[in-house]
């Protein structure tokens, strides 16, 4: 059973990492806001489809191994909740980093304008 758990943990970690990486990649890509939101929606739809396929495969394998599907679903819900929390935290950190970078750029521009006038 320990091997099954570590396999599930690996899969959950893989999915979480992929989602967070995709979101951060899109957030930091040099695109317009509307284009970024559209891309996030499209990627979300793709990830939902992939997650549904993985869930169906996991359910099938769990049944083959005699693992209770309810137990698997409970673990999946827990992983989804943890992933959502991590994603929200990552998005918040991304927003903070973007705001900080923007402020640094504005400060640098104001400093250069002041030097140019002097």
- Three-class DSSP labels, the chain: CHHHHHHHHHHHHHHHHHHHHHHHHHHHCCCCHHHHHHHHHHHHHHHHHHHHHHHHHHHHHHHHHCCCHHHHHHHHHHHHHHHHHHHHHHHHHHHHHHHHHHHHHHHHHHHHHHHHHC
Distance, C-alpha 46 to centroid of its chain: 13
Decide: residue 19, CB within 10 A, 0-12 exposed, 13-18 middle, 19+ buried: buried
Instruction: Determine the pLDDT at residue 8.
Output: 66
Tell me which residue of 80, 88, 79, 107 sits closest to 27, measured CA to CA.
88
User: Can you give the residue ranges of every domain in the chain?
Assistant: 2-87
Q: Read off the pLDDT of residues 75-88 as tens digits, 9 standing for 90 and up.
A: 888 888 888 888 88
Phi, psi of 104 (to 5 degrees): -65, -40
Residues of the chain with pLDDT below 50 are 1-4
Instruction: Determine the pLDDT at residue 6.
Output: 55
Instruction: Determine the pLDDT at residue 7.
Output: 61
Instruction: Determine the pLDDT at residue 1.
Output: 41
Residues in contact with 75: Cβ distance below 8 Å, sequence separation at least 6, in sequence order: 8
């Amino acid at each position: 059973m320990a091997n099954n758990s570590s396999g599930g943990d690996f899969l959950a970690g893989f999915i979480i990492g992929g989602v967070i990486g995709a979101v951060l990649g899109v957030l930091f890509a040099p695109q317009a806001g509307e284009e970024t939101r559209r891309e996030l929606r499209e990627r979300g739809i793709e990830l939902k489809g992939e997650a549904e396929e993985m869930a169906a495969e996991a359910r099938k394998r769990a049944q083959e191994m005699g693992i209770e599907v309810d137990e698997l679903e409970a673990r999946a819900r827990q992983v989804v909740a943890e992933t959502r929390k991590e994603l929200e935290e990552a998005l918040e950190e991304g927003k903070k980093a973007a705001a900080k970078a923007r402020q640094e750029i504005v400060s640098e521009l104001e400093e250069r304008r002041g030097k140019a006038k002097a």
